[in-house]
Structures are given as structure tokens and as C-alpha cells.
Structure 1
Amino acid sequence: GAIAASDTDARERHLKRSVLDSVVDQYKYYTGANSPLGAASRRRVADHLDRIREYELRAFAVRDGDAGGPPLPPRSDLAHGGEADPGGEGIDMRLDDLTTEWRLMADLYALAIKMDRVRFGALTFLAAGERLRVTGDYHYNGRKVFTFDDARQLNASGAAGCSHEWWHQFNEGKKNEALRAHAHMKMREVAYFLGRLDEKDAKEANGRSILENSLITISTESGDGRHSDAKRELSGVFHAITGANGRFKTGQIMDVAAEGMDLYNTMLAGMEVAKDRLGPADRDGRAIDGIRA
């Protein structure tokens, strides 16, 4: 049925109301002259709350603003949800727009981690089979790496012209330039998120950054995309992991010749998660001690 006008008004009020409105008194106290916090801590609280407001404005495109607050970011011009791809044939996407949307999510997630609002979670870059037809010049470290124009380069329209098809066209005997450029771009954006956890305001009590102290995994969902060959589908899987404050080895490539379930259970054990394990209770697992420092 139709949504009642009162429900719609309530939703609008909720979106326009900042989460900061509910903590304004505490904000004034902890950043004011009578705050029990030191000067550095007061500045950090104020900075966190300013950034929350900035991200709220970016995420919800709230029109009202505070003259003393962060500048109002531009509204998103991109469609979201079902209206973005009503026919299910993919979306035309400029590279700059793709990067902007990804980095908004990465910034929000990094901020939540820094404020200890989340301790476990995941980010997925380009879900839903990558039904995007990407266009635009891709630069890295001041040099042009590639010019994306998926539909033209694939000589196809609709879903057949989306970047997902490059994975199915992988050929060991060819350069696979478009595929490699897409993979490189994804790693650049993942690195952007990781960099947010290694900034000055991400230092923890032991003097190391959140990135250094955390267990973070970066892994492929499957192999090279040729679903007709199960062996090849699994042969390309990799799992990159951080050191988790010295718990695991880093800086090397290892072929552990093991099932992913055993690998992740070894990581859980290394993080002293004593009770929870992945997989059936009656499954005989084995520890992959080669990854532990």
C-alpha cells in the first residue's frame, strides 16, 4: 500500500536530524573549558564529531548546514537502488563517480573503526557481478595506466559490455590489459581504505596504528572467472593478511596448500578466539602454523 504522509514526513525529519543532535550537551561539556579531557583529547573529540557531520552531509545530502561547520559537499548525482539499473543490464559509470562513491563508504567505515563503533566488518568492491560499463582515464602515481571504455572495448552493449566480462575472457597467452587495469584500480581503492587506518589519528595506546594492530584480510572471491573448470576456479584464490601486531608473518608469498577454512580458523586461533570455529563441528581441521610469526 501507499506510505502515509505522516510516515513520509517522519522519515524526512529522521534523515535531516544529525546523530550529533542527540549528544550536543555532551559535546559542549567534553570540548569546553570544564572538560576533564586534556587539550589533545578535546581536539580529537571535536575533530571526530566534525567529520561525522561532514560524512552525514555527504551520505544523505542534507541541505541545511552550519556556517561554522565543515563545507557542504556536493550532492550525489548517481541513482541508487533499483532505479540505478531497472532493466538489469548494467550501469554506465564514469571512473571518477565510482571512486567518489567507494571512498565515501571507505571513509565512513574507517571513521567508525577509529571511534571504536565497530570492530568487525567487511567492505566489498564492486558487488553484484560488476555490472558496470566503466569509462574514463585511470591514473596512478602521476602516470596514466589505462583508458577504460568497457562497452566499446568489448564491442558489446548491455550486460555483455560490462567489466565483468573481462574476467571471463582471461587468456594466459595474451596481455589481458583491460583486466589487469581493472584489478589494479581495485587494489588502489582498497589501499585508500587501508591508508585511512594508518593516519596520525589512528594511533593506538601501544604507539602503533589501527592498521598495524588489526587483522585485515584481502581475498579474491574466486579464481580467474572460468567457471567451467573447478580446479582452475580455485587455483587463483589468494588471501592477503596483515600482521595483527606481530601475530602473523608478512612480506612474503606462501603457498600453504590448505583449505581456506583451515587458514581462517588458524587466524581465529591466533587472535585468541577460543570458542568459535568455521565449518561443521565434526570436521577434522588442521592448524596452518606456517602463517604464524
Structure 2
Amino acid sequence: MNSPLPTAPPFAGPDIRLPAGAAPVACVDIGGTKVAVAVVDQRGILGRRVEPTAKEGASDALARQVLRMIEESSAAAQIRREDLAAVGVASCGPFVLNDGQVELAAPNICGGLAGAARGLPNHWTTALLEAPLREVFAQVRVENDGLAALKAERRWGALQGMAHCAYVTWSTGIGVGLCVDGQMLRGKNGNAGHAGHMFVSDNNDALCGCGNIGDVEALVAGNAMPRRFGALGYADAASILIAARAGETGAVAIIDDICRVMGRALYNLVVTLDLQCISIGGAVFWHHHDYLLPRLQAHISGRLPALTDGFVLVPAGLQDRVGDYAALALVV
């Protein structure tokens, strides 16, 4: 009887521990689909909790969810909430500043942006975030999740040593963090990098949660694909990719078109910012990165060589754990 082939262990990510005696911190990753919370002390990352993102009730429902999850994560790690020195929050955006504090105008969370046609169960135009956290914690840092992930990838992942680079997440939405000349770009409200809302196609059949019709996120994001192609029998992005990998003609055509849109968006980033490397992660990409990576690279390589020669597109060095380390990078 043949022995089963060995399998690689799950990627654990870098082992982050605070120095002995350092006060613990909390890390919060907010996406359009889920919220993940953990605390970190000299023992490492502890008490991780994951829940679907709150999208019902009052506009502070998400902030209240985060506060509760921090409490639960701290209890699981046997850490008093009062002993947490800081809270780092990596969140999908865009951000709106209200009295200098971040509220989320996030297309995949706030149903009031695109209206009832988008199908979100609320009428929020913003979701409160920073102000309720500051009522409890003295030190709170909120950043765009693309920027926070870029910081993590530059510190621990595939972008170490890179001065001209970007991180792109292809997940529920499309997020980007940008770095030029060693400086990470934030913008006037911390929204630099919202390239998912660029127009790179004349397609106008897809409504984005931001209200745009036919932007990148509306066409290729993880929650956009079932809305566009569900009538063809594809329940989610994964089902289209699995069918394409199996050679199903219709699915291959869909993925070719999806990669053309996403590839053009990546090309625009490269030539606009003169980048040397983009690291790409997120649930849609990561689980099929071997299939998608060369198709995306094909829309960049060979075009305007003065700007694209020497550029490389790589999978996220932190693999499917980028989100976990993004918020951590803000507070350690």
C-alpha cells in the first residue's frame, strides 16, 4: 500500500512576540466580509476571533462589534482589556474624517452609497469606527487595509527592501497600498490607493457598492463575480476559477476577461508610479495564484518596456495571513 504524499504544513507567518514586559496590543482587521481580532504580547499572537462583518442596525454597529471582539480576544488570552497599550485597525475604506476621526464609507459595508440595488441590509453612508474606539482606548491607529498590508509585506513579506512597490488585495473588494521612493502614500484622508474604483473598461453592466457602474471592483471583485455571472450557474468566484482550471470554455472566457480588467489596473499602477514590484494577495487571488499570476503578468510585460522592464508581480509573501499581520504592523 502506498503511503500518502506528504503535504506542506499551513503557513504560520512570522512569529511576532513583544519584548518581555511590553504592554500588550490589540490588532483588528476589518474587511467587507469578515472582522478578525487578536491580541499580542510576549507570548505572540493570541485569542484570535473572526466574525462576519456587522452590517445591520445603527451606524455604530461595526465599532460595537470590534469593541466586543477585543474584549473576547483579551479574555481568551487572559489579558485585561485595561492593560492593552494600543489598538491597530486595518480597515477597508474609503475613509471620511469627522472631527479628525475615521468613519468608513466602505462600498461593501455601507448600503446607503449605492442604494437598494446593491442589496446591503442598511442605509448607512458611513459607519462609525474611530470615535467609539477612542471612548475606550487612549491609543488607536486606523489605516487603510491596503496601506497596512503594504507595511506588513515590506517588513515581513515579499516587499522587503523595496522602495517603489505596491500591495494589492483581490478579495471581497480590491484594495491597494502604494510606496514610492520609500515613502508610503496616504493622501488627504488616508485614501491613497483606492485603485479598485478606476475605470479601465467600457463595460457598464456592473454596479459597485460605491455607486460607480463598471469600475474595476464592480467587474472583478470577489462579490462582483457571482452578481455578474450567477445566472450562468456560478455561485461564487471560486466556482468560476475551478471551472476555468478544468478547461470549461465559458469559464475560461470569463477569467480571461477578468484578468484583462485586473491586468490593466495593475499596468496603470506600474506606469503611473514607476514601480519595481507589486505583491498581490487576497482570497480570490491566493487560492488560485499559480493560475492567475501569469495571466495578470501578461498584461504588463512587454508593454512600454521603459517602464515595465524589470518589474515583477509576485504572490504575497505573507500568503493568506496578510490581513492578520496588517493591523499588527501598525502597532509593533
Q: What TM-score comes out, normalization by structure 1 length?
A: 0.31
Q: Say which structure is richer in helix.
A: 1
Q: Say which structure is richer in strand.
A: 2
Higher relative contact order (CA 8 A, sep 6+): 2
